[in-house]
Structure formats: C-alpha cells, structure tokens
Amino acid sequence: MLLRHGETEWSRDGRHTGLTDIPLTARGEGQARALAPLVGDRRFGTVLVSPAQRAARTAELAGFTEYDTDADLWEWDYGGYEGVTTRQIRVNRPGWYLWRDGVIPGDADHPGESAADVGERADKVIARARACDGTVALVAHGHFLRVLAARWLGLPPTDGRLLRLDTGTYSALGFEHANPVILHWNSPVPGR
C-alpha cells in the first residue's frame, strides 16, 4: 500500500516541496485521518515512512502505531526550485517541465536531484520492500511515489510523469502472474 501524505500549505499552493520539512494543514490532517479505515485492522509486515513530518504525521493519523523511517523515501530534491511554483519557474524558463527539464542546483541544503537519482532511491526502497515478509506500506510524497511506481513496472523514472498522485490518496502495487502491476492508483478515500 502506498499513501501520499496529506495536504501541506505548499502542496496546496503548488510549491515544489522536496526537503523542506513543513507540517500538514488542518485539511491535510483530515485527509490523513480519512485513510484510517484502509489501515484499520489490516496486518502489515513492514511500514516504511519518509522522515518528513508531513509523512510521519500522515502515518500516525492513518493509524500506524509502529513504523520505520527510511531516508530513501524523501521527496525529490528540487534544488533551486524548492518552494517555487511551476508558474514562477516558467517566467524564466517558458515551457519548463520537471520530468523533461529537471531542476537547477540550489544551496548546500538543496543541491538538487535528477529523475535518475530519485529512481535509484526508489529502486532501493523496492528492493527493501521485496525482501520483507507480508504486506508493505509506504508513506511518502507525490513525485517520489510516482517514480517508485514507474520503477516497480520496470519503466524509466521519468515515466512517473504518467501517474498523477493527489494528496491524501492511496495506491497499491502488486503482481499479476508474477509480473509487477498497479492494482489501484490515486484512489480517494470513499466518502471523502
């Protein structure tokens, strides 16, 4: 099971939120609580959560009482585009598209990553999840989870562009005849 964290002020405003650690909004906390019926009494062999407070809080409000943090689940490092909207970027780079054009280097805390860099981290998470017994839950971020799903399917990291992922949603990856597939994607919580 994949859970994207609930809304933050920056996700609401369309600002690229990579390594900046900001909290959920009240709406984001509500989105996280709405995920609780999906977690419910299900048994998970492993629960891995991004170290970001927005992911950890989502995990807790969704009902995970025990989990491990995994730094490989951090969101894409947007470098010099951290905190900036696509509209603002396009003022100086008309037609800019993250999946095609990437990011510019930022400061020491936000050096930036390529899609391939994010894909390498996603591959590590997939390897860790496949080595676990039982169902695995991952609580993380939009662009990262899109890359992870592409890599799960054996696609290049940039094919994550094909998979929109909203805040506070769940997705599921699995198998059909031993082949990796997407079982659910960007699913809203019923009744929300």
User: Residue 81: which CATH number?
Assistant: 3.40.50.1240
The boundaries of the domain holding residue 21 are: 2-187
What is residue 192's predicted lDDT score, i.e. its pLDDT? 52
The total of structural domains in the chain comes to 1
Digit-coded pLDDT (tens) for 117-140: 999 999 999 999 999 999 999 999
Those residues of the chain that have pLDDT short of 70 are 190-192
Q: Which residues share a beta bridge with 69?
A: 49
Cα(first)–Cα(last) distance of the chain, in Å? 19
Q: Which two tokens stand for residue 55?
A: 């992911």
- As a whole number of angstroms, the distance between CA 91 and CA 74 comes to 28
Q: Collapse the DSSP code of 48 into the 3-class scheme (helix H, G, I; strand E, B; otherwise coil) and give the result.
A: strand
Single out the residue of 11, 140, 169 nearest to residue 68, CA to CA: 140
Query: 192 in a domain, yes or no?
Result: no
Within a domain: 8: yes
Three-state secondary structure call for residue 130: helix
As annotated, the active-site residues are 5, 75
pLDDT the model gives residue 137: 98
pLDDT of residue 190: 64
For residue 191, the model assigns a pLDDT of: 56
Per-residue model confidence (pLDDT) at position 188: 83
H or E element, residue 103: none
Q: How many residues are given for the chain?
A: 192
